[in-house]
Every structure is written in C-alpha cells, then in structure tokens.
Structure 1
Amino acid sequence: MFDYETIRVIWWLFIGVVGIAFALTEGFDFGVSTLLPFIGRNDIERRVIINTVGATWEGNQVWLILLGGAVFAIWPAVYATLFSGLYAAMLLVLFSLFFRPAGFDYRSKIEDPTWRNTWDWCLFLGGTLPPVLLGVLVGNLILGLPFHLDQDLRTFYDGTFLGLLSPFALLCGVTGLLLTTFHGALFLKWRSEGTIHHRSILAVELLGPLLLTALLAATLWVFFGLERPEITQMAAGDAPSNPLRKTVVAAGTGWFQHFMAYPWMWLAPAAGFVGLFAAWLLGKGESRGAAFWFSSLGIAGIALTVGFGLFPFLLISSTAPGSSLTLWDASSSHTTLLWAFWITVVFLPIVLLYTRFVYKVIWGSVTEETVLNDSHTLY
C-alpha cells in the first residue's frame, strides 16, 4: 500500500506524535513534582498536590516506554547509537525516574514528618532531573554527537559524558526544566482550589518570563549561531538502509536558511512562542483550561521546530558527518515498517480513547476535603 519512502515519512510523523504526547503529559507530571516542596507548605497541601497527578502519572510515563520501543523497532541504528554511546547518561535518566514510583507509593505509608519530607524531596528529584537531562539530550541532538560507523555499520562513540555538557546543551537543559515546571504549574492551577491555586498562579507569573527568555536565547543561538550538515548525494529514497551510501558536508545551510527554504516551517516556532506567551498571560489570571492548552500548543511547537530543523536527520555525527543517520537510511525493513504501521493503526486509537476516558472519570479539582475523606485510597 505504501512504498518504502512514504512509510518512512509516516513513521517519522508517528514517532514525532508519540514524543509530543510524552512531553505534554509527562511534562506536567514532572512540573508538579518539581513544585511540590515549594507550593505545598504542609503535609495535607502536599498530598493534594500529589493527588492531582496521582491517578495518571503511571499511564503518562508509558509514553516514554512507547517512544523507546518505537525507536527500537523502527530506527534500530538510532536506538543502538543512543543507548550504547550515551549509556551513562541514559542510566542517569533511568535512575532519576526510579524516585517517582517509590515516592508516590511509599510517601504516605507512614505518618512520620521526616519520612514524608524525605520522599517529597525524592519526588522533587524525580521530577527535576529527567527534564534537565532530556533537555541536554535534545541540545546534543541539535549540535550532533561524536560517533562514526565502520564499513560493517558498527557504531563507535567517540565522546565522553562530560563532553555532552556544552554551554548550549546546558541552556537546553535549563529550558527543559523551566518548560515542564511552567506546564506543571498551569496544570496544578487547573486542578486545585484555594491556597494551592493562588500559589500556582504566582509560580506561573514568575516562571513565564524566565521560560520565554531562555527559549528565546536558545532559539537565537540555533538559528544564527549553529550550522547544520547538508546531504549532497544519497541513494534513492526506496533503497535499503545503509547510512554510508550518502555524502554529507559538515557545514551546509544554517538553521535559518533551512527554514527560509521551507517557509511553512516557521509555523512551528511561531506556535511555540505564541502558545507559551498566551499561556503566561492567561495563567496570571483566572483562566484554567485555556492557559494549559496554550501551553500544550507551545510545547508542541517547540518539538516540531526541532523535528523540522533536523529533517531528514535523526542523529547528526559531529565527528564523521557521513555517518549521520537519517530517516532514509536508518530504518527497519519495508515489511517491518508496514506491519508496525497496521498494528499502530489498530491499537493507538484504543489507547487514546482509553486515556480520554480515564481523564474524564478522574477530572475535577482536588481539595483538602477530597484527600481527608478518602485518605486510605489516595496517595
């Protein structure tokens, strides 16, 4: 039904959608955890904050597992390069995520202030470290990673963990943290009342300008300070995957020129800035749902900006540009992509409908009375 070239593009879109879904849903989970010790001033307030995401955080985190599984199945060369070359960084992300299930499940088991306060800070770490580390990863995807392929298509990583911590990558890490915290503050404002609601508004008011400033700095750095490689020759789009069958120059057109060549791409960064600015303006007032949805638009716009800017690259090699991986030469076989496509077409709508049903059932403000009246089943 679909030729090899078309199904590769479809899967690029599918995986982009999964990545955006993870950023939107797990993003506010991370943000709520980051804000937990600061907006919650006592035990009952912190229990209210935790229970705004208590019924859905596990399901939201599955998007990350789905994203990893999709990359493994569809772009095995990308998966192998990332998870072998960035082994230490990936383990650090994984270990930081361990704080979350333990914190949610054990925090309220014992009525001891020291016990609960310790787990509150564990939840803070579990919500703060992942967006920073994932932001650093995105920064390195934009800059390029030091790896090369030999003639047998084996990947060799040429860098170190500390080499990932460049100034630009760290700026992306800070931006990632501000983005999830801002998104989480809007979600917490939407699902809370009283004191927590008003403190969330103050958090939105403070975080908005910091986020927009960091995002503007990163955007200007990318568009006017970074070059992107350019493919000068490659095999036909329907050829079997072999990254070494193309010619790449390290310094091609910059990001600005790339977007100017495809003017419709400017819709993505425009959506990012307009969405987040509108979310900040609305979030400072009494708007709840509208502010959160504008924040979601902003996050989607940022993700699309990165995807459009890298296209058709999936992983750029900073040391051997010819080894860079693209969606044309790093995908699984045509048969694998087709089977995975039909499985996704059948089951992804079911997942989305079930997710919508869950949010509809549990939706509503979480208050101190809600927690006190159901103290045995809630966190």
Structure 2
Amino acid sequence: MILHELIDYDVLRVIWWLLLGVLLIGFAMTDGFDMGVGALLPFVGRTDVERRVAINTVGPVWEGNQVWFILGGGAIFAAWPPLYAVSFSGFYLAMFLILAALIVRPVAFKYRSKRDGTAWRTTWDWALFAGGAVPALVFGVAVGNVLQGVPFELTPELFSLYPGGALAKLFGLLNPFALLCGAVSLSMLVTHGAAWLALKTEGVVAARARAIGSVTGLLTPAGFVLAGLWLSVGIEGYAFAGEVATDGPSNPLYNDVVRTASWMTAYAERPWIAIAPLLGLAGMGMAWLGMRAGREVSTLLWSKLGIFGAISTVGLTMFPFLLPSSRHPNSSLSVWDSSSSHLTLFTMLVATVIFMPLILLYTAWVYRVLWGKVTEADVADNSHSY
C-alpha cells in the first residue's frame, strides 16, 4: 500500500478543514489582541508614556502572533487552491486593504520612537490604529459576504468570473449584513485587546481599557445574536441536491448545489453544532463580567473562548461549503470538491504533525519569558522598548 493511502481522501479533506479552522482561530486569538490594542491605542493612552506602555505590551510578540496569519494563508494556498484563487480574485481590493494595513503596522512599531516630535509620534500612533482596526473590520465584512454567497461563477475550464470592475466588487462587499459582521468582528477584537491591556498594564491605561472593553464586550454578543437572527430569517443557505462523492475529484461543477431557505437547516440536521454559538455567547458574556469585575487572566481566557465559539459557529454552520456562489450555485466551493490531491494533503499533514508542536512550544516559551505587567518605569528604563 502507498503510504498516503493509510488515510482516506475524504478524511484528509475534513482534517484540513479542521486545521484551517485551527489556524484562523489561532490567528484571531493571538494577533487579534494585537489588533485590538492598536485600535485602542489613541483612546487608552493620553500621553506619550501611556501609549508606549500599551505598545510595549504587544511589541515583543506581534511578529510571532502574525505567523498564524501566514500559516492560514499558506494552508489555503496549498490545501485549497481553488478557494485561494477565487477568494483572492473576488476580494482583491479588500485583501490589498488588509495587507496595506498589516504592512503599515510593523513600520509604525519600528519608526514611532525614532524621533521625539509630537506630530511624528501621533502620526504613527494613528497608523497603529489603522493597522489594528482596518483588518479587524474587513475580516468580518469578508465573513459576512461569504455567508451570503459571493457573485462568481466557474467556466468549464474552472476559471473564475466576477461581474463588474474592481471598485464595484469592493463596494459590493459593503452591504448591511456584511457591515454588521464587520462591526461584530471589530468589537470582539477590541474587547480582546482590552482584556490583554487589563492583564499586561496597570493604572490609568488598564482602567481605560476596562471601561472601553465593558462597552464593546456588551456590543459583541448583542451583534452576534442579531447577526444570527438575520442569518436565520433573511439570508438563504446552500445545500447539495443529491449525493456527493466525498473522495471524488476537485471539480465543483460535478456537483449540483441549490439554495435553501436558511443556513439554519444545518442545526436541524446536526443539532450538536449548537455548542459553538453557545460557547461563543458564554465566552463573550463571561469576558464582559470579568472586565466589569476587574479580573485579568480569566477575562482574557473567556475572551478567547468567545472568539473560538464565534469562528467555529461560522465554519460549522456552513460545512461542507467553503465559498458559496450566489451567481451560479453549482460553482460553489466545498470541502469535497476544492482540495489539493490526496498525496499533497497527506504530505502537508506529516509536515504539520512535525512542526506545529514546535511552533506551539516556542510560542508558550515566549509568553512565559515575557509574563508580567509593563509599567511606565519599564518603558523609561529599557533602551530597547518601543
């Protein structure tokens, strides 16, 4: 028997769907609080020293946290090539906006303290704000559009076609439901950043972070519930019309996809997936209570649970679809028809089993070394601080 045939093709596809979810959740849990701190920076720090304290809570770890984003993009490229090609084509300007914000962020970290001028530092502070708020918002907008279906179709040669020009595509993404999802994403990561600042700082910076986090921590579950209600009554879902070969070729056009009344039919078919939104709401609610009570470690952990539940809700609700097509439902990409080959998925899995534990161990070691609060005295006394 050939080695890669030890694991069935359909099982490998599900494993890589799960791993993609793990990478996206890992990115939101780690780089999410970096983005949240950036979005909070102009509001929690009113003096240069206070802002430096906030920046130095994430300065040593943001680069490592962003590895999850790179791994997620790499996993989509290697494990789900049609998903990578179609999504990056349709969301080109939105992706460019995210990448521009993520490029500006490291530049702001490195250059902010190179000069003492107020205007200079304020400019880079707002760059850090954009580097945090813009990706957090746009990621949510993208999820909202995926849930509604993206207006593309595949030719018989599997080329993707989108109507309209680049600007029309960008503004087409800014519909009411997608903007609501973007607001939920932004408020969720701002709350996560506030929980991080409450853990890593003290005094007025921590107090302001808790005050803002108490507001966004209440808005997040409210928006999450509203989005769920909207999804259940106002947005059609997708389903396969007949049997699908789960180990068949990666060609979406081989399958027949139809629109359904709602995505919520998934909960009738698989009631156990309701655990995801319940965990999300529990995490969000407990994070809000922890913020109000002044708890630190537990608040951050509850916030992570809320993020896990929210992202898992989207993935489990849509399964097995990855990118549905509102223009031509049969072009929709799913777990069963848009993956790489059996051998590719197996080879990637072997590499993941070897290297993922090393990444997790290194990350744990870094956070262990950097454990503790960042104070104004630390910033003033350390010549290597931001």
Question: Structure 1: 5+ residue runs without aligned partners?
Answer: none
Residue 185 of structure 1 is matched in structure 2 by 194
The RMSD of aligned alpha carbons is 1.0
**Structure 1 Cα separation of the partners of residues 243 and 357 of structure 2:** 36
**Counterpart of 2:257 in 1: which secondary structure?**
strand
Tell me whether 1:62 sits opposite 2:62 in the alignment: no
Deviation track 1:245-272 (CA, whole Å, cap 9, x = no partner) reads 101112x252222112211100000001
CA contact (8 A) 1:190 1:288 kept: yes
Partner Cα distance (2:214, 2:313) in 1: 25
Equivalent residue for 1:202, pick from 191, 211, 225: 211
1:332 equivalent in structure 2: 340
Report the CA distance between 1:56 and its aligned residue.
0.4
Partner of 1:281: 289
C-alpha contact (below 8 Å) 2:235/2:261 kept by paired residues: no
Q: Indicate whether 1:123 and 2:128 are aligned.
A: yes
**2:35 matches 1:30:** yes
Counterpart selection for 1:231 from 234, 237, 240: 240
Shift of 1:215: 1.6
Alpha-carbon distance, 1:356 to partner? 0.4
Count of aligned pairs? 377
1:361 aligns with 2:369: yes
Question: What residue ranges of structure 2 are gaps of 5+ in the alignment?
Answer: 1-5
Q: Aligned runs of 1:218-367 on 2, under 5 Å?
A: 218-250=227-259, 252-367=260-375
Bigger CA drift: 112-121 or 234-243?
234-243
Letter in 1 for 2:384: T
Quick one: which amino acid aligns to residue 186 of structure 2?
L
Residues 8-31 of structure 1: CA deviation (Å, up to 9, x unaligned): 000000111000000111110011
Q: Spell out structure 1 runs of 4+ moving beyond 6 A.
A: none
How many angstroms does 1:195 deviate by?
1.4
Q: TM-score, normalised by structure 1?
A: 0.98
Distance 1:210 1:73 in 2: 37
Query: Displacement of 1:206 after TM fit?
Result: 1.9
Partner of residue 178 from structure 2, selected from 169, 173, 190: 169
What is the TM-score with the length of structure 2 in the denominator?
A: 0.96
Residue 39 of structure 1 corresponds to 44
Q: Are 1:370 and 2:378 an aligned pair?
A: yes
SS at match of 1:291: helix
Instruction: Give 2:14's aligned amino acid.
Output: V
Deviations 1:204-235 (A, max 9, x none): 22222222222221111112322211101254
Post-superposition CA distance 1:313-350 (Å, at most 9, x none): 01000000000000100000000000000000000010
Cα distance in 2 for residues equivalent to 1:24 and 1:243? 32
Match of 1:79 in 2: 84
